[in-house]
């Protein structure tokens, strides 16, 4: 079937935002990032939101954002790493949504996220690698509900984007000219 939106799920540091932006550019679609939208609406960074109102409230804001974005057409959506990790979420996306899990190892996720310190409250403890391992193990079965999986280990943003574009092209998704 042809798709009118692409949803990227996966752990922190899997490249959802970077790859999402690149794919959107290629498709001539809009790029929407859950975390960016929440930060803009709330007027604070994700780390500050966690600190000020707690993770549970952040999760509510995140899901509200998801519901809005999943109704848009011609969009590439980068979810936050925790959004998909709830029973039934990925399976319940509207028709016409291509779902792709960008997988990454805990070591690589920590390596990539350490390059942007202070932005990932769930990996700010004393043992980020242990925390990443535990979360990835818990979440993998939920991420796996995505229709496709692209393992990003050792791949560049261009490689991952090209794989996603090939998946969409094989599904006859219209790529609008620039």
Binding span for ligand S3P by CB under 6 A among 65-73, 102-110, 115-123, 154-162: 115-123
State yes or no: residue 128 binds ligand S3P (CB under 6 A): no
Provide DSSP, 118-152.
TS-GGG-SS-HHHHHHHHHHHHHHHHTTSSEEEE-
State yes or no: residue 82 binds ligand S3P (CB under 6 A): yes
Burial of residue 169 (CB within 10 Å: 0-12, 13-18, 19+) is exposed
Handedness of CA 102, 104, 108, 109 (dihedral sign): positive
State yes or no: residue 12 binds ligand S3P (CB under 6 A): yes
Min dist CB 141 to ligand S3P, Å, is 15
Min dist CB 12 to ligand S3P, Å, is 4
- Binding to ligand S3P (CB under 6 A) within 37-56 occurs at 46
Min dist CB 164 to ligand S3P, Å, is 17
């Amino acid at each position: 079937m042809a798709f009118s939106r692409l949803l990227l799920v996966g752990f922190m540091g899997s490249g959802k935002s970077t790859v999402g932006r690149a794919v959107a550019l290629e498709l001539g679609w809009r790029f929407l990032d859950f975390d960016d939208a929440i930060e803009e609406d709330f007027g604070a960074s994700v780390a500050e939101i966690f600190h000020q109102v707690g993770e549970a409230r952040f999760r509510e804001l995140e899901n509200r954002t998801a519901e809005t974005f999943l109704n848009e057409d011609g969009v590439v959506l980068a979810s936050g790493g925790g959004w998909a990790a709830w029973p039934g979420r990925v399976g319940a996306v509207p028709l016409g949504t291509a779902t792709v899990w960008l997988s990454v190892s805990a070591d690589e996720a920590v390596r990539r996220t350490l390059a942007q310190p202070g932005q990932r409250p769930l990996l700010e403890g004393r043992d980020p690698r242990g925390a990443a391992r535990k979360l990835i193990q818990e979440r993998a079965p939920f991420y796996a509900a995505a229709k496709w999986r692209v393992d990003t280990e050792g791949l560049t943003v261009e490689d991952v984007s090209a794989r996603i574009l090939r998946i969409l092209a094989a599904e006859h998704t219209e790529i609008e000219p620039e």
